[in-house]
């Protein structure tokens, strides 16, 4: 009897999974809804009578979790990167040319083209075929655990179909709210005098982040999978389109609008076809995505820091609306730049209500002849900051007012200066301007700069507000007793912060230069400057001509650097930072290996796993100093894989490709060779 009931339950589950896949994923139902409901109730009754046979992957268990109090964090095994954008056929052609140049081929490339869904990126992890974890994209490395809510989405299988399933399969996709579900949700909200959602994307994001899965279940979310993440096991596929077909075969939902196209012409044909049917689609899209279909070519092309080289998003034309310009405010940025911001009569554009828009700078204001009181055209493209495109001069009454640059900083009342030839006007208050103080200190303390752990944005704002910090140099005069008295700080937190500040007193010259916040001097430029001048005094004395001999520094960046070191207040702060009276910052002695004499010169190295003797960042800096190129993905062109503990798929791939694998001891030998 017991075995027969168990078999009956498993048979019902298999039948329901089959029909759910046909209905929600393939859109090819075989049975009426009433018959599906009958099977579902039959399973419910059997599970109620025999609760010992209830499993988490049963079709009846989609909304079985208790409400959460908060979301836990999930570290992605493979980073979830974002995509770069193009907005025109010329930009797409330039992207295509970059790919062909890098691949050194004259042949037309084959792309997988798909709609760009306007939703929320998520990662699903299946172990032994069962859904065990779902997480949002977050910052690309760490997201929020939304497993309970993802389980409520009918199109997401709780157990994969088929037999040949990898031990671990991670898939990436987009959660969205279909237009019909969005309209129904807002209609219900209006009927109950509740706040309505602005657009389906906001509704999807809000629904997925509900602490009560039952609320998410009511919102009728959907999902399409668009890529593989981490895979442990055999999942043969030579192309992206084959991988998607495999996912569909396993019961995962994949968009039906995906096509294989060739070259720019094929991409543009797909783009115009989807744009034409955009309004008829049952979900919102804001563009299309092109991905090089051949996975081996993807591996050759690799990644930049935040996006794959082999994929691009082609955004649809910006959406525009007309409204009235009611006034102009001037915002002061971290570098003192003044940005005119339009105060608008609120207008719905690009899916959101816009009441502020950038005017960029005064040159643009004058060029467009925009005046307070004008009827203006506002554009919002995707997630780009809304901008005022033009004034509708035919609607002028004659009462409009010209926009003038203020003579004094709206934050600190210092003089405003506009250098000839530069479009941007700046506050001369430098590090004394509160608007610049806060942002300058945040940047100075950030992880890639001085890396002062614990000195986050909120604490910086508290310290500045309390008058305890007026410049970055004041960080090194802070005392534990002062910090402990601040809100949400105690003796232990204060002690930890002081320790972090003390650790930051010894730093590489490159990090210090980057921490100063010189305009357009990022990490790579700071490293080049440190290599070229080997000391802050020589850098301070360099002129524009001399600076332009440094790799990747042109006349514009050279001018910014010279301008920065000509400001007395900047020099004063640097002198304070190096003043031994407050525990001077000291620069690490990093031996510079000339590329011509280094065993690693010109070599491509990938780092994976956990290193024991040094951090991965320290290893990266040493490799760069030795003339090596450090990349994030293993390919046939990789010379060395530096593997630490718990090295994963990169190690397996390197072994298959015959890449030389080294440990920390071998790295040390190569660095000293």
- In this structure, is the dihedral angle defined by the CA atoms of residues 574, 575, 576 and 578, taken in order, positive or negative? positive
Q: Give the CA distances from residue 323 to residues 156, 197, 379, 388, 401, in Å, rounded to whole numbers and listed in that order.
A: 42, 22, 11, 10, 16
* Separation CA 316–CA 379 (nearest Å): 13
Distance of alpha carbon 93 from alpha carbon 246, whole angstroms: 31
Closest CA to 509 of 542, 539, 547, 475: 539
CA–CA separation, 665 and 284 (whole Å): 53
> Beta strand 311-315 with 85-86: parallel, antiparallel or unpaired?
parallel
What distance in Å separates the CA atoms of residue 288 and residue 574, rounded to the nearest whole number?
48
The one-character DSSP state at 12 is H
φ, ψ of residue 667 to 5 degrees: the values are -60, -45
196 phi, psi to nearest 5 deg: -90, 160
In order, the DSSP letters of 588-647 are: ---PPPPGGG-TTTT-EEEEESB-SSS-HHHHHHHHHHTT-EEESS--TT--EEEE-BT-
Catalytic residue flag (residue 646): no
R_g of the chain computed on alpha carbons: 29
Say how far apart CA 574 and CA 507 lie, in whole Å: 14
Report the sign of the C-alpha dihedral through residues 473, 479, 485, 491, in that order.
Answer: positive
* Segment (H or E) for 375: strand 375-380
Beta bridge partners of 441: none
Question: What does residue 553 show for φ and ψ, rounded to 5 degrees?
Answer: -115, 120
Q: Closest by alpha carbon to 254, among 30, 62, 24?
A: 24
Tokens linked to 198: 């602005």
SS3 224: strand
> 338-349 and 319-332 as β-strands: parallel, antiparallel, unpaired?
antiparallel
E-only strand ranges, 50-129: 73-75, 85-86, 110-117, 120-127
Residue 120 near residue 174 (C-beta atoms within 8 A) = yes
Q: How far apart are alpha carbons 585 and 578 in whole angstroms?
A: 5
- Which of 267, 287, 153, 247 is CA-nearest to residue 208? 153
Residue 423 CB contacts under 8 Å (≥ 6 apart), including other chains = 360, 361, 362, 363, 364
For CA atoms 203, 204, 207, 213, the dihedral sign is positive
- Give the DSSP letter string of 132-151: EEEEE-TTSSEEEB-HHHHT
Nearest-CA neighbor of 559 among 590, 512, 518?
A: 518
Determine contact, residues 334/285, Cβ cutoff 8 Å: no
Structural tokens at position 98: 């970059």
Distance between CA atoms of 336 and 7, rounded to whole angstroms? 72
**In sequence order, what are the residues at sequence separation of 6 or more whose Cβ sits closer than 8 angstroms to the Cβ of residue 492?**
none
Select which of 116, 300, 315, 442 is catalytic. 116
Q: Using CA atoms, how far apart are residues 641 and 661, in angstroms rounded to an integer? A: 5
Give CA 420 to chain center in angstroms: 36
> Any idea which residues carry the catalytic annotation?
116
């Amino acid at each position: 009897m017991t075995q027969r009931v168990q078999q009956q339950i498993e048979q019902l589950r298999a039948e329901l999974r089959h029909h759910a896949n046909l209905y929600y994923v393939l859109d090819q139902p075989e049975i009426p809804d009433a018959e599906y409901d009958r099977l579902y109730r039959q399973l419910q009754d059997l599970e109620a009578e025999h609760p010992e046979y209830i499993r988490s992957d049963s079709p009846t268990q989609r909304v079985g979790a208790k409400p959460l109090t908060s979301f836990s964090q999930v570290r992605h095994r493979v980073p979830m990167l974002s995509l770069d954008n193009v907005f025109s056929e010329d930009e797409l052609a330039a992207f295509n040319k970059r790919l062909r140049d890098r691949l050194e081929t004259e042949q037309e490339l084959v792309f997988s083209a798909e709609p760009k869904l306007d939703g929320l990126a998520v990662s699903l992890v299946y172990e032994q075929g069962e859904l065990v974890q779902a997480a949002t994209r977050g910052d690309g490395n760490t997201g929020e655990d939304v497993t309970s809510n993802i389980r409520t989405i009918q199109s997401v299988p709780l157990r994969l179909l088929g037999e040949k399933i990898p031990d671990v399969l991670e898939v990436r996709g987009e959660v969205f709210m279909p237009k019909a579900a969005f309209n129904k949700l807002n209609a219900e909200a209006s009927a109950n005098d509740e706040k309505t959602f602005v657009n389906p994307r906001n509704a999807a994001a809000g629904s997925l982040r509900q602490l009560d899965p039952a609320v998410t279940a009511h919102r009728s979310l959907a999902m399409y999978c668009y890529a593989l993440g981490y895979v442990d096991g055999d999942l043969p596929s030579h192309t992206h389109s084959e991988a998607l077909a495999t996912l569909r075969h396993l019961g995962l939902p994949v968009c039906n609008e995906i096509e294989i196209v060739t070259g720019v012409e094929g991409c543009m044909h797909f783009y115009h076809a989807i744009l034409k049917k955009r309004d008829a689609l049952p979900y919102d899209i804001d563009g299309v995505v092109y991905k090089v279909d051949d996975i081996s070519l993807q591996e050759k092309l690799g990644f930049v820091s935040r996006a794959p080289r082999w994929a691009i998003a082609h955004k649809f034309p910006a959406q525009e609306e007309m409204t009235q310009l009611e006034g102009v405010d001037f915002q002061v940025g971290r570098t003192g730049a003044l940005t005119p911001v339009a105060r608008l009569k609120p207008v719905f554009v690009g899916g959101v209500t816009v009441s502020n828009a950038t005017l960029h700078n005064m040159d643009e204001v004058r060029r467009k002849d925009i005046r307070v009181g004008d009827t203006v055209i506002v554009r919002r493209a995707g997630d780009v900051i809304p901008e005022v495109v033009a004034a509708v001069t035919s609607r002028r009454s004659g009462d409009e007012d010209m926009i003038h640059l203020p003579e004094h900083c709206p934050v600190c009342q210092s003089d405003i200066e506009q250098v000839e030839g530069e479009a941007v006007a700046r506050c001369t208050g430098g590090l004394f301007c509160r608007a610049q103080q806060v942002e300058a200190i945040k940047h100075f303390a950030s992880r890639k700069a001085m890396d002062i752990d614990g000195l986050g944005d909120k604490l910086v704002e508290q310290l500045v507000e309390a008058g305890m910090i007026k410049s970055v140099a004041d960080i090194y005069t802070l005392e534990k007793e002062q910090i402990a008295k601040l809100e949400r700080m105690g003796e232990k937190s204060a002690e930890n912060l002081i320790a972090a500040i003390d650790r930051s007193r010894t730093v590489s010259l490159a990090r210090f230069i980057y921490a100063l916040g010189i305009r357009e001097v990022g990490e790579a430029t700071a490293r080049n400057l440190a290599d070229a001048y080997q000391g802050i005094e020589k850098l301070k004395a360099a002129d524009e001509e001399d600076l332009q001999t440094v790799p990747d520094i042109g006349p514009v960046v050279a001018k910014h650097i010279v301008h920065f070191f000509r400001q007395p207040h900047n020099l004063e702060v640097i002198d304070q930072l190096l003043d031994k009276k407050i525990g001077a910052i000291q620069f690490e002695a990093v031996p510079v290996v000339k590329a011509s004499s280094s065993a690693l010169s010109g070599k491509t190295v990938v780092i994976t796993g956990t290193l024991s003797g040094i951090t991965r960042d320290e290893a990266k800096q040493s490799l760069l100093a030795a003339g090596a190129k450090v990349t994030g993905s293993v390919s046939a062109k990789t010379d060395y894989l530096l593997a630490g503990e718990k090295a994963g798929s990169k190690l397996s791939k390197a072994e298959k490709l015959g890449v030389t694998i080294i440990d920390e001891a071998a790295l040390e030998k190569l660095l000293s060779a």
